[in-house]
Structure 1
Amino acid sequence: MGMNTKAASDLKTIPKNSRKTLRISLFWKQIKKQQVLLWMSVPIMLHLALFQFVPLWGWLMAFKDYHIGQNLLEADWVGLKHFQTLLKHDDFLQDLRNNIVMNTMQLVTGTFCAITLAIVLSELKGKWFVRTVQTMTYLPHFVSMVVVANIFVMLLSPDGGLVNQLMIKWGWIDEGIFYFGQAKWFWYLHTLILTWKGFGWGAIIYLASISGIDPSLYDAAQVDGASRWQRVKYIVIPSIMPTLVLLTILDIGYLVTGGFESQFLLGNVINADYSEVISILALRLGLNEGNFSFGTAVGIFNSVVGMTLVLIVNAIARRYKANLF
């Protein structure tokens, strides 16, 4: 610290032109020192520019009446017409409600289950048992959603599904129930399936956060006579709060606009009032009907709303010094 202060004071005594030359020299020395890391970052930056920034010129399509085979620059300019079509569509508010409800349920349930699993595994002593449970719980994360959806559709099928067969055998019901035909059940089934698929994977980062807690805190709490629950309440939970806030801020961006694959695979005509989300509306009206301009407008809407939510939540978290940026 003293050396940095001395160097800064010495720098002030150097003439302005020489000071600028010295800064440039130090900059290039730093570049040369870190050239390996910089070269390693080049493919990442190229990928980011090529697949994230270059396609943004296509957003122009949302403000034009574009048809396939037409030159985008020659298409008629329609301004905010497609955004107005989206906001005034009969299914927009319903699909927006489905987005908010399902993503909120998934966020709350998935986070709670992930934190609970991480705390339980951190408190267990048998390493073999912990590793077995951890492997079994995060393995579904690597299974394709297509496979997961088919598994649950077959399990809950009214015609030979395992769940219905067991319930009939135990005398709980007289005939099979078409679970995915009960529209009002879809939110709960969807939350259950996605939580089962992802909570084990989500617990990994909380386990890493718990493993970074200073062991002396546990020792001090044990000396003071704290029970296991008290150690969890007053040491573990406060220690993982920064991680919880960080992940919540990142997930908030998908609260209104996230979701497509699971709803598309598990939904059907019967439960469409509760399963269709904005992305499926874009697919139905944008791609299936060839209205690419409308589909692009939906994509812009999703991006803007998601970014706005992240900034709002981050601003709120900044008040408690738990912000992301």
Structure 2
Amino acid sequence: MESTVHELNDYRTSSMAKKKTKFQLIKRRFYRERQIWMLCIPILLFIAIMQYLPMLGVITAFMNYIPGTSVFKSEWVGLLHFKTFFASPDFPMLMRNTLAIGGLDILFGFPAPIILALLLNEVRSKPFRKFIQSTSYLPYFLSWVVIASITFTLFGNEGIFNEFLLRFGFSDQPIAFLGEGGKYYWGIITGLGVWKNVGWNSIIYLSAITSVDPEQYDAGKVDGLGRFKSMWHITLPAIRPTIVVLWILSLGSIFTAGLEAPLLIGNSQTRDYSEVIDTYVFTYGLQLGNYSFATAIELVKSIIAITLVFGANRFTKKVMDTSIY
């Protein structure tokens, strides 16, 4: 009995010693890096105040909050707003449209910057490569208002594309590209998203490619690898960790189809295909002033996004031995 007590005391003593040692290591590291932490304090405070403090407003999802009144005086309704959203006749349409637009964006928008970065890396002419890079970056800095205006100019009933089809006899009457959601809307919105973001997103992959050891390419040439095979067997494996991490993070945005594009390009004729969760939240939250209902919807979306990110991270950690944490 006494030996058991001694063993327990020894275990507790060793455990406390380990904790104390770990705390001392953290303290020493913090003291050694104190100047860096002092520089980071304003940024950390800004993030805490602007990003984390507003999260306390999530509690309004469980209340019948009325703007202008105190949160503590609002009526507690529990899961009423969640039940209302799931029972809404618009719920299946919203989920379908959000998943379709978000899924298509990942399906086409995620590999596009990887392909562009690989192709740009193979361009030997520096002036031409810089021109392509600058051209591909430009759409990212355009607002969706400008892009929507360009879209209506190109694909409207009296747009350039319809005029081309009519003039050269490819069509007898204008095609409602922006009025037939089932045929064209998802394709147009996906294409615009890829065009807008492909150049900017390729910067990350180009940066990762620059870290590849040039001696590997020289060794590949000795082994008889051409440019395509070098790309496949050397460049892609080298940037795989970057690809996996960005893929994990992108899954969290599958329920974020965006607000500006569906709101500006969608219309009453394409509502069955353009109405997504973000535009629904905008309508009920800002236009109708139902903040509690909109907060509940956003909370559901956030929980699903976090679940997808953690699930994908666990999957890639087991299968590819690559993860965020």
Superposition TM-score, scaled by structure 1 size:
0.89
- 2:170 aligned residue: 172
SS at match of 1:179: coil
- 2:208 aligned residue: 209
Which blocks of at least 5 consecutive residues in structure 1 are unaligned? 1-15
- 1:123 aligned residue: 122
Structure 2 residue 118 is matched with structure 1 residue 89: no
How many residue pairs match? The answer is 310
Q: Percent identity?
A: 34
Q: Give 2:179's aligned amino acid.
A: G
Aligned equivalents of 1:20 and 1:207: distance in 2? Answer: 43
Q: Deviations over 1:138-189 (max 9, x none)?
A: 1111111111111111211112x11112222222123322211011111100
- 1:6 aligned residue: none
- 2:98 aligned residue: 99
- From the superposition, tell whether residues 25 and 225 of structure 1 become closer, same or farther in structure 2 (CA, over 3 Å): closer
- 1:157 aligned residue: 156
- Structure 1 range deviating more: 219-228 or 79-88: 219-228
Aligned equivalents of 1:296 and 1:245: distance in 2? Answer: 31
- 2:244 aligned residue: 245
CA offset at residue 19 of structure 1? 11
Q: Contact (CA 8 Å) 1:64, 1:79: kept in 2 or not?
A: yes
Q: Contact (CA 8 Å) 2:62, 2:77: kept in 1 or not?
A: yes
Structure 2 residue 254 is matched with structure 1 residue 259: no
CA offset at residue 243 of structure 1? 1.1
SS at match of 2:152: helix
Q: How does 1:72-83 map to 2 (within 5 A)?
A: 72-83=71-82
Aligned equivalents of 2:27 and 2:67: distance in 1? Answer: 49
Q: Contact (CA 8 Å) 1:102, 1:191: kept in 2 or not?
A: yes
- 2:190 aligned residue: 191
Q: Contact (CA 8 Å) 2:93, 2:272: kept in 1 or not?
A: yes
Aligned equivalents of 2:17 and 2:93: distance in 1? Answer: 65
Q: Deviations over 1:246-302 (max 9, x none)?
A: 111111001124422211111111001111111111222233222111011012112
Q: Give 1:156's aligned amino acid.
A: F
Q: Contact (CA 8 Å) 1:279, 1:298: kept in 2 or not?
A: no
CA offset at residue 31 of structure 1? 3.7
Aligned equivalents of 1:191 and 1:17: distance in 2? Answer: 56
- From the superposition, tell whether residues 218 and 152 of structure 1 become closer, same or farther in structure 2 (CA, over 3 Å): same
- Structure 1 range deviating more: 149-158 or 20-29: 20-29
- 1:64 aligned residue: 63
- 2:3 aligned residue: none
Q: How does 1:33-44 map to 2 (within 5 A)?
A: 33-44=32-43
- 1:3 aligned residue: none
Aligned equivalents of 2:22 and 2:300: distance in 1? Answer: 44
CA RMSD of aligned residues (A): 2.3
SS at match of 1:271: helix
